[in-house]
Amino acid sequence: MATMAAMPTSETSLGSILDQVAKEKGIDKKILVETIEAAILKAAQSVFGPTRELEARFNEDTGQIDLFQYMTVVEAVTEPEREISITDVDKLKLDATLGEELGFQVFWRPEDAEKARDQDKEYGDILKLKHGRTTFGRIAAQTAKQVLLQRVRDAERDLIFNEYKDRKGELIRGIVRRFEKGNNIIVDIGRTEGVLTFREQTPRETYRPGDRIVAYVKDIDREARGPQVILSRSDPRLVEKLFEAEVPEIYEGIVRIVSVAREPGARSKIAVTSRDADVDPVGACVGMKGSRVQAVVQELRGEKIDIVPFDRDPARYVIAAIQPAEVHKVIVDEADGRMELVVPDEKLSLAIGRKGQNVRLAAQLTNWKLDIISETKFKQMEEEAISALQQMDVVTEQIAKSMYRLGFRALEEVSEASVEELAAIPGLGGVEAADRIKSQADTTMERLRQERIRSASSRTEPLTDRERLMFIRGVGDRTVVLLEEAGYRSVEDVLREDEDRLAIRTGLGIKKARAIKQGARDFVESEQKVLDAARADVRRAAEARHA
């Protein structure tokens, strides 16, 4: 970057420096000239006074900035710094008439010292510039230097931004140069430097100055203090771009990456599809003897990669995503965007993965909420659900099994179902029976709720937030799960929330949300007080026995 220790002399004129900077940095000289003129003018106004009419003008012949002061010829002076009387004009033998403007060059550079003395001697009483000349010379030199440096920096940043803005979302190769505070890595990427912040680095990857690195261009920050190019090694799109670079079919658009899920440094899953029936998308990504996928794995320093065939059937897609575990049964809850995957007992840990990694990545990849259940646990849940449905007097074991197969797992699901949905259950007995069973589901749920409250009133240990949620009328296990997943972990959370937001965030619908909100209000206003009083009596009795 061009620098100026002081305002240049005629031997090293400002013009030559501007020519040099413009050539080296690719900046239009006219822009530099206008910037310097504006800075010198501002400095002059601060030294000589803001009321003077001043002009800073670049002199192409001398390569310097000339400064001028203009004064209007008037009959009687009211603004001494901007006006000159016609009497003084005649006295000084100046060629001007009333209303005209006279221009005086302000000599401020050291080499113009003699001209400045002559000017002060002849026009000093009118211009009154002598006091500020010396000060202005020093300030002007420093200002010109600072403004030129800043303008060059700004221009360089603009050039870098314009050069790299179209590379956002691409791979870029560079060389590690140094480490900064906060463990940020500064990478030389050619015309400029990029920054790989600590949060964008991959765990367990280490670098040394001089190491070559491939990164994803995550953003170009025009306002950043340091490097403008923000790099990433942890972004899932890095995996996508690496495959695009290795697999010609992806680059050509024959094979498409539908989704990527990643835990940087550990494992990634990608879902791929092909628009050509003759091209196997998974095989194209794997390559001959695994050459393509291994090239990506090597670039990611050993990160495991699962390549999954995308399927329009959500169940098939999820089964492929959960590999290498095998799935025996899938239960789909489209309304809640959830699937239950039943796997053999011995494959449960494989399906879940280390610290839940496999199921977590599969859920991210497919955008479905996934629950992994062993066959033994599934059978137990099935028996419990059928038993719960049989608590309604009109439901036999055979009807309960039919209801379970049709997706009715709990009393609250029966309560919320339409009469038409229930009437379709084989062996139930039509619309009238469906209406009765729906009513009985409500009655049974309320009976079980009252039993829970009575049981809680005889205990001395504190109640959990989940237990108190279960005391709300119409709330069962399924609703509690939906409430907790949406962030409503207590009765108070429900009471504080707006009904519309409660319906949207839980997916329960406005009718159910209103019923839950009213049930929570009723519980707190009446039943909570009775429950607290009963529990207080139990505690006092227990304390009396131990006294």
Structural domains of the chain ordered from first start: 14-156 (3.30.1480.10), 166-234 (2.40.50.140), 311-390 (3.30.300.20), 391-546 (no CATH)
Question: Which tokens in the block code for residue 363?
Answer: 């859920």
| Cα gap 31→1, rounded to integer Å | 17
Position 469 pLDDT exceeds 70: yes
pLDDT bin (cut points 50, 70, 90) of residue 431 is confident
Q: Which of 29-38, 131-140, 226-235, 317-326 has the highest mean pLDDT?
A: 317-326
Q: What φ, ψ does residue 337 adopt, rounded to 5°? A: 65, 40
Q: pLDDT tier at 135 (50, 70, 90 boundaries)?
A: confident
Distances (CA, A) of 505 to 417, 486, 491: 20, 6, 16
Distance (Å, rounded) from C-alpha 454 to C-alpha 531? 8
Number of other CB atoms surrounding residue 170 within 10 Å: 13
If one compares 125 and 265, the residue with the highest pLDDT of the two is 265
**Structure tokens belonging to residue 106:** 């302000």
Confidence class for position 12, pLDDT limits 50, 70, 90: low
Residue 306 vs residues 144, 205, 314: alpha-carbon distances, Å: 60, 20, 18
Q: Which residues contact 482 (CB under 8 A, 6 or more apart)?
A: 336, 506, 507, 508
β strands within 116-206, DSSP E: 171-180, 184-188, 193-196
Kindly report each contact of residues 525-534 with a partner whose C-beta sits within 8 Å and lies 24 or more positions away, as own/partner. 527/453, 527/471, 528/471, 530/457, 531/453, 531/456, 531/457, 531/471, 534/457, 534/458
pLDDT at 13: 66
Q: Which DSSP category does 258 fall into?
A: E
Q: What is the pTM of this model?
A: 0.63
- Give the CA-trace dihedral at 118, 121, 124, 129, to 10 degrees: 40
Tokens 């829970």 correspond to 452
- Residues contacting 172, CB < 8 A, separation 6+: 189, 194, 214, 215, 216, 217, 229, 231
Higher-confidence residue: 426 or 487? Answer: 487
Q: Distance between CA atoms of 280 and 286, rounded to whole angstroms?
A: 10
Distance (Å, whole) CA 206 – CA 204? 6
pLDDT at 11 over 50: no
pLDDT band at 226 (very low <50, low <70, confident <90, very high): low
* pLDDT of amino acid 439: 85
Q: How much of the chain, in percent, has pLDDT values that exceed 70?
A: 97
Q: What phi-psi label fits residue 529: left (phi over 0), alpha (psi between -120 and 50 degrees) or beta?
A: alpha
